[in-house]
Amino acid sequence: MAPTATLDASDITEKARRDLLQLLEGVRGKKNLVIEKSLAGPVGLFVKFSTLQEYGVDKVFFLENNNVDSTQRNVVFLARGEKARQVQAIAEQIKRVRRESKQDHEFSIFWVPRRTLVSDQILEETGVLGEVNVVEFPMYFVPLEKTVLSLEMDDAFGDIYLRRDPTAIFLAARALMLLQKSQGLFPRILGKGENAKSLANMLLHMRAEEDIDASSDPSNAHVHSFDLTPSATIDNLIIIDRGVDFPTVLLTQLTYEGLIDETFGIQNNQTEVDSSITGAAPSQPPPQQTSGANSQAPAVQPPASSALKRKILLDSTDKLYTQLRDANFAIVGTLLSRVARRLQSDYDSRHKANQSINELREFVNKLPSYQAEQASLKIHISLADELKKVTNGDLFLRVLEVQQNLAAGADPSTVHEIIEELIARDCPLTTVLRLLCLESSVSGGLRQRDLEHFKRQVLQGYGYQHLLTFAALEKIGLLIPRVSAGAGAYLNPLANPSGAATVTDYNLVRKSLKLFVDDVNESEPNDIAYVFSGYAPLSVRLVQCILQKPYLAQLTNPRTTPALNSQPSTATASGNWKGFEDVLARIKGPTVDEVQKGHNAAASQARKTLQGSGGGQVKTSIVFFLGGVTFAEIAALRYINGQLGEKRRLIVATTGMIKGDTAVGAGVEGRSFKTR
Amino acid sequence: MSKPTADWEKVGDRFYRKTQLYTDVFDQDLELENYVIAGAPYSGAVALYRDEDKLHAYRGTQTAKPTIDIFSCAGKLIRSLNIDKGIVKALGWSEDETLLVVTNDGTVRCYHNLQNDFTPFTLGHGAEEHGVRACRFWLSGFVALLNNNALIAVTRYDEPRPKLLATPPSGDVASWAIIPPAYTLSRSVEVLLATGKTIYVVDASECEDRMLENGPFKHIAVSPNGNFIALYTDDSRVWVISSDFQNRLSEYNSRVKTPPKDMQWCGNNAVVLAWEDEVHMVGPNGAASKYFYDSWVHLIADTDGIRIITNDICEFLQKVPDASEETFRLGSTSPASVLIDAVDLLEKKSPKADDNIQLIRPNLDEAVDTCVKAAGQEYSIHWQKQLLKAASYGKSVLDLFNSDDFVDMCETLRVLNAVRFYEIGLPLSYEQYMRLTPERLIQRLVNRQEYLLALKVSDFLRLPLNKIYVHWARQKVRSSNADEESICKDIVHRLDGKRGISFEEIARAAYDEGRSKLAIELLNNEPRAGKQVPLLLSVGEESLALDKAIESGDTDLVFYVLLHLKKKLTLANFFRTINTRSMATALVEASAAYGDRELLKDLYYQDDRRLDGSNLLLTEALKQSDSQHRNDKLKLASKLLQDSREHTFQVKAIDESQRLLRIQEVFEKDLGESFVGLSVNETIYKLIKSGNIKRSQKVQSEFKVAEKTYWWIRLCALVSRRDWRELEEMSKTRKSPIGWEPFFNEILGAGNAKLASLYIPKCTSLTVPERIEMWIKCGLITKGAEEALKAKDISSLEMLKNKATGNAVHEIERMMAQLAPSRR
């Protein structure tokens, strides 16, 4: 318990690593590791396969493949225990191995992030509980970057909005609670949206229970004597419910990183592209540290696929990428050529006559970093080239046209023709659905007639099984019929009785928060709107409502500037929604604003004194995206952080990364009527 | 006051001391020689069990029921446990004072917290057939030796998983011992088995012969730190060897014909042998000392010494701690001993006191430290005070001294003296206390129901009090005869305003006593919703449990309750319970979607959720591979929605899908290609691509596919078919609903520039520069130039001229010339 330390992502990584290795060490001898597919990526972020091998892991299998063999006496399962299916799968594999194998096996299960009652019950019913060693591997947040923490729950969006299963919210609350335990209470919890509200409530609840838990848990009898007091380093927690802001997800991200995600997909900081694009991976292990569970194991992956695909690590270890990732794609070409020229001139400087020995030595010392940069430059040029091909495509431009029109608030019927054309041209279903959902989201639903028209088009174009897709999208609230105010509560599942708005009034919000900026400057951004070349994500605007009040006020209404500027400063005590209540009332879902104080005022005061007066302190705000966050939003938040200066740190936390295709894909019916 | 050195004895070059802790320990009638005895670590409780193998006088029927009696070290009976079945083969204690009783059929009972109730588990691995012979315990586990020499290890008691160790050779085991996992290289428990002339070392995976030849060994003992092993040979010698069997460290000949009945380590540097009333202590290098008693002797080894128990006394034998030796050894000139002398003189008001201080002035801080440490080792309060006085005097002379140790020691001694009191009977040494930790000391006090002392000590040491309150309340619930209401009132009243009280634990105690009503009432005071759930389920308050689970937000708990409910309630009741709770319904739906479809169907039916029901049938239809079944499902799906007006679109769509499937089946029969599974558009596309234009048109009209869509599909299909003739034909059509530009783009994209160029003049809606661009794309610069000429666009001509080669350049120049005059 070090409440004074600032939140450091590497601590979390280190702890997860240590925990896992310790658990592995607890299983004596060599072992086979069976890992759930969705965990392989996150685990690969902090442990290399070679390290696992040092800890006795012989082979790695994916749980889903159901192919663990009996080559080792010890079999270790690493899986999430929240879903009954997963538990069942493990139980069956244990039974299978036991049946097929001649020798005695030792089974261990590491449940991530906790051992559940349900898992125990299922294991007991299937009769394997008695023979497995069950332990918890409490991995909650996985840092993707220094300022990006993710729970890496791939299904979170579908669970929360489609199936209304709040497990993800509960686990998020657990994860945030752990942060509070190490950092102190978040002095203020702000948020917007139905689920944000329940998350905030859970946090308050857990805090009340924490007292008793701590004291009745024998293992931390020492720790408990500290009462939770408000953190001195963290200023506030801002929870953004994804349900409040669907359009941002549905629009095509136009930052470099966002486009890579849209085009190739980024999983756990890695993208996988055809090797014909970047050239095959070098023969020695590629410069990227490919993640443990993936890089190895012919047992896991057919070797053929690795020959065609190449994994590329995309994170801040790549210096060049750090410069490129948040830039609008329009200027990436320019940036790349600038870097290429600089590298060339640096490299050419070796030819300079009469160099001293020292200069030469310096040059030689820098050589490895030149080479690394050169290699990464090569990769990014080819990636950018490939993206350019996509963005210049006819379809992409058409889609973009529709999106920009809708985002800018043009009459939706003007784009209907283009959408129809896209359907006729058999453009990918998710793309079409994204556009329809976007229209529905920004205009409070589609008119019944239009909706049925498009439904018919889609059903004929892509198959009648998509009746289910539409049912799911309606349940999520992405594609809904427009209803008169009175009936809204019945049909709109996001309706709540608390009197808050049930549907966001986009026309009003667009104006009052200036969600569309016409004169956006992509090469030298002057507003977050650059990430979508015009549209400013609502979610990030909400964050600005708290952190950048004067700026936003000036942006939306230049005349009121002096009044708001007279307020003390940007960083008022711990931030609140003040000044934007009217707009918030027009955005669906309740608004959250809770202040957390310590039981013991004296103790928190003492802690503050110990910290020294807040003057030189870097204040941290955690922005938690419930239901997923896009790379474009992260880029926008990084931009804001740049504007706020050194005194403030924004940390993005989320249930997982998301993009339009995955959001819509949560509803898409995958099967067809094809005869098997 | 007797000197502290009075009970010291020199063995070799070391001093050992025997401290009398308590007298009049056991009743004189208790025939200690007939009992098996086991003592908990860190001066904990002592369990006694009548040894079945020994003869005993018949005393009528009252002894018919064997019991295990738990005493404090001072001989106070704490509890008496009835053993109703099985023959007790071993008694042992764990670190947290859990008593473990192993019976011959391999059943292990864990008596937690010195209470009457226990949690049982069985050893398995053949223990039942072969029977348990003996067990050896360490702080957190034990190893059982079966009659067939099999060894079973248990390493934890919260979730015991008995594990079979490697198979040792058969043969008579003369004696055996274990090395706890913490002290072995393999980090697994190791067993030393003396069989025949040698010793086998057995761990989880292998059994190794150590090739000794001096066996059979009557006794084996492993030192508390696992570094040394003591062996008692057949010719009545004691050997001490290192635990890797590499070095023999010392040897001692007891010269006693009968082998001792017990051999134990005293700390890490002496071995104690016990005969009936005689004890030999063997120090390093074979030096020994003998003690004689009036009655039968039992040895209880602890980490830093050994307890010797007879009917009359309880003694603690240990090596004199270094600090004490330095201070009190006769003729010692250490600073500490000078300092204690000085205090003596000071009390006599002698000025020499100061001389003494001046003598040790340079080492005074060291002297103070030693005195503080020595005080901790002293049992006599007089000498504790004397030593602390000396320390206090010494530190008053020092300018800068950190008194933390001194203060801590004063506190610790207060606690130690309080618990050493004979009525409490916890004769902890300082080192044992440090290892036990204050928290666990409190737990021990609570277990002995010494609540007042526990509260006072906790308060004194600034430890949390809540557990003591909870324990008190549980005990009250168990033992009180008052009516339930007043018990509950009393408890709630007493615990009101106390922080961190877990009412759930108290309620569970009430439930275990069979007082369900009291349990529910107590549970109402539990602030943590989640914690109430399991207990509510056990008392049969299912719907309340479900509410509490939902309140906690923990989906796992909700699931758990739901599983329970589903088993217990009828389906109708189950649905009634969940459908007022939306989260429960959502969870049931989500989980059933992957498994229990029938349940889902019933749920939708019961709630009259027709659309969901119909969708469920649709998913089922998708799963069918057989067309007949699929159609049935689809029919059902549409029938379900037939009567309601709001679903007409849905019904129509389902019907259409059936129609499509039928048509596709016909096509499959006619054309011998697969169509089922394709969408309407895809069907049209495939038909056109295979040249069945007529059929495609039929599909178009049947499903009222928009003209525009049809044209697009046709264009794409023809292009992919490379049907240039048909496309050329189409260019002659007057009008296209999608314009002509797509034709140009698609055909050009397919690589037929010549044909694509045919469409350029038809794109009348485009601007001239756009059309010029199109010409350029087809490589027909001259044509582009003509276009520009028509529009009198001189700059485009310039641009074209730069692109042009050969003849075309002249051509363009000529055109520019044509335009030039008009400019003038």
pLDDT (tens digit per residue) in A108-127: 999 998 888 889 888 988 88
Say whether residue B678 is in contact with chain A using an 8 A CB cutoff. yes
pLDDT of residue A459 exceeding 90: yes
Contact (CB<8Å) B618/A468: yes
pLDDT of residue A466 exceeding 90: yes
Question: Which of B523, B556, B627 is the mutation pick for testing A, counting most A CBs within 10 A?
Answer: B556
Q: Look-up: residue for tokens 């069918």?
A: B624
A392: CB partners within 8 A, 6+ apart: none
Helical axes B680-689 vs B648-671, angle rounded to 10°: 20
Distance CA B402, CA B337 (A): 21
pLDDT of residue A289 exceeding 50: no
Distance CA A583, CA A505 (A): 9
Q: Which residues of B149-185 are buried (b: 16+ CB within 10 A; e: fewer)?
A: bbbbbbbebeebebbbbbebeeeebbbbbbbbbebbe
Residue A291's pLDDT band (cuts 50, 70, 90): very low
Q: DSSP label at A657?
A: B
Two tokens, residue A510:
């667009």
Contact (CB<8Å) B709/A85: no
**3-state secondary structure at position A225:** helix
pLDDT digits (tens, 9 = 90+) for B91-136: 999 988 899 999 988 899 999 888 888 889 998 888 888 999 999 9
pLDDT of residue A670 exceeding 90: no
pLDDT of residue A217 exceeding 80: no
Q: Look-up: residue for tokens 């040897």?
A: B251
Which helix H or strand E contains B622, and what residues bound it?
Answer: helix B610-623
ipTM here? 0.85
pLDDT of residue A568 exceeding 80: no
- Measure CB to CB from residue B703 to each of A164, A208, A460 and give the nearest one: A460
Q: Look-up: residue for tokens 């390290």?
A: A51
Which helix H or strand E contains B357, and what residues bound it?
Answer: helix B352-360
Give the sign of the dihedral formed by CA A664, CA A665, CA A668, CA A672.
positive
One-letter amino acid of B559: F
Residue A294's pLDDT band (cuts 50, 70, 90): very low
Residue of B nearest to A200 (CA): B553
pLDDT digits (tens, 9 = 90+) for A51-61: 998 888 988 99
One-letter amino acid of B748: L
Contact (CB<8Å) A198/B553: yes
pLDDT value of residue A215:
57
**Residue B479 or A329, more confident:** A329
Say whether residue B498 is in contact with chain A using an 8 A CB cutoff. no
Contact (Cβ atoms closer than 8 angstroms) between residue A41 and residue A267: yes
> Which residues of chain A from 22 to 61 reach within 8 Å of chain B, CB to CB?
28-29
Distance CA B117, CA B509 (A): 11
Share the mean pLDDT of chain B.
Answer: 87
Count of CB atoms situated within 10 Å of the CB of A567: 13
Residue A501's pLDDT band (cuts 50, 70, 90): low
Q: DSSP label at A158?
A: I
For residue A149, give the nearest of A646, A634, A643 by alpha carbon: A634
Q: What are residue B581's phi and psi, to 5 degrees?
A: -120, 105
The answer to which of A128-142, A225-239, B464-478 has the lowest mean pLDDT is A225-239
Contacts of B686 in chain A (CB under 8 A): none
Distance CA B43, CA B39 (A): 7
pLDDT value of residue A353:
61
pTM value? 0.79
One-letter amino acid of B231: L
Contacts of B703 in chain A (CB under 8 A): 460
Two tokens, residue A251:
């629009």
Contact (Cβ atoms closer than 8 angstroms) between residue A561 and residue A541: no
Say whether residue A223 is in contact with chain B using an 8 A CB cutoff. no
What would the DSSP string read from start to end of B199-228? EEEE-SS-EEE----S---SEEEE-TTSSE
Contact (Cβ atoms closer than 8 angstroms) between residue B343 and residue B373: no
pLDDT of residue B139 exceeding 70: yes
Say whether residue B648 is in contact with chain A using an 8 A CB cutoff. no
pLDDT value of residue A658:
93
Residue of A nearest to B594 (CA): A85
Contact (Cβ atoms closer than 8 angstroms) between residue A188 and residue A576: yes
> Which residues of chain A from 301 to 320 reach within 8 Å of chain B, CB to CB?
none
pLDDT of residue A487 exceeding 70: no
A213: CB partners within 8 A, 6+ apart: B528
Q: What is the mean pLDDT of residues B391-399?
A: 86
To the nearest whole angstrom, how far is the Cα of B676 from the nearest Cα of chain A? 5
Share the mean pLDDT of chain A.
Answer: 82
Q: E-assigned strands of A100-192?
A: 106-112, 132-136, 142-145, 148-150, 188-192
Distance CA B447, CA B454 (A): 10
What residues are paired with A313 via a beta bridge?
A270
**Residue B292 or B500, more confident:** B292
Query: Could you give the C-alpha distances from B802 to A24, B760, B778, B785, in angstroms and in order?
Result: 71, 22, 16, 12
pLDDT value of residue A260:
93
Residue A464's pLDDT band (cuts 50, 70, 90): very high
pLDDT value of residue A473:
93
**3-state secondary structure at position B761:** helix
Residue A205's pLDDT band (cuts 50, 70, 90): confident
For residue A31, give the nearest of A138, A105, A113 by alpha carbon: A105
pLDDT value of residue B61:
54
pLDDT of residue B56 exceeding 80: no
Count of CB atoms situated within 10 Å of the CB of B431: 18
Distance CA B183, CA B188 (A): 9
pLDDT value of residue A306:
47
pLDDT of residue A311 exceeding 80: yes
pLDDT value of residue A606:
62
Contact (Cβ atoms closer than 8 angstroms) between residue B501 and residue B470: yes
Contact (CB<8Å) B582/A164: yes
pLDDT value of residue A176:
92
A28: CB partners within 8 A, 6+ apart: A74, B186, B187, B188, B204
Distance CA B36, CA B54 (A): 10
A11: CB partners within 8 A, 6+ apart: A5
**3-state secondary structure at position A83:** coil
A133: CB partners within 8 A, 6+ apart: A27, A106, A107, A108, A109, B161
Radius of gyration of chain B (CA): 46
One-letter amino acid of B210: R
Burial of A546 (0-12, 13-18, 19+ CB in 10 A): buried
pLDDT value of residue B185:
80
pLDDT digits (tens, 9 = 90+) for A339-357: 889 888 877 777 766 677 8
pLDDT value of residue A497:
44
Residue by residue, what is the 3-state secondary structure of A492-559? CCCCCCCCCCCCCCHHHHHHHCCCECCCCCCCCCCCHHHHECCECCHHHHHHHHHHCHHHHHHHHCHH
pLDDT of residue A659 exceeding 60: yes
Distance CA B584, CA B601 (A): 16
Distance CA A249, CA A471 (A): 20
pLDDT digits (tens, 9 = 90+) for A65-81: 888 888 888 899 999 98
Residue A655's pLDDT band (cuts 50, 70, 90): very high
What would the DSSP string read from start to end of B102-155? EETTSEEEEEGGG-S-EEEEE--TTHHHH-EEEEEEETTEEEEEETTS-EEEE-
What would the DSSP string read from start to end of B371-439? HHHHHHH---HHHHHHHHHHHHHHHHH-SS--THHHHHHHHHHHHHHHHHSTTT-----HHHHHHH-HH
Contact (CB<8Å) A164/B590: yes
Q: In what order do the strands lie in the sheet with B141-146?
A: B132-138, B141-146, B151-154, B163-164
Distance CA B201, CA B222 (A): 13
To the nearest whole angstrom, how far is the Cα of B9 from the nearest Cα of chain A? 41
pLDDT digits (tens, 9 = 90+) for A540-554: 999 999 888 888 888
Residue of B nearest to A671 (CA): B622
Residue A616's pLDDT band (cuts 50, 70, 90): low
Contact (Cβ atoms closer than 8 angstroms) between residue B17 and residue B318: yes
One-letter amino acid of A106: E
Residue A439's pLDDT band (cuts 50, 70, 90): very high
Contact (CB<8Å) B706/A420: yes
pLDDT of residue A214 exceeding 80: no
- Measure CB to CB from residue B583 to each of A166, A202, A455 and give the nearest one: A166
pLDDT value of residue A523:
84
Two tokens, residue A31:
């072992």
pLDDT digits (tens, 9 = 90+) for B568-599: 888 888 888 888 888 888 888 888 877 778 88
Q: What is the mean pLDDT of residues B178-205?
A: 87
Two tokens, residue B19:
């401290």
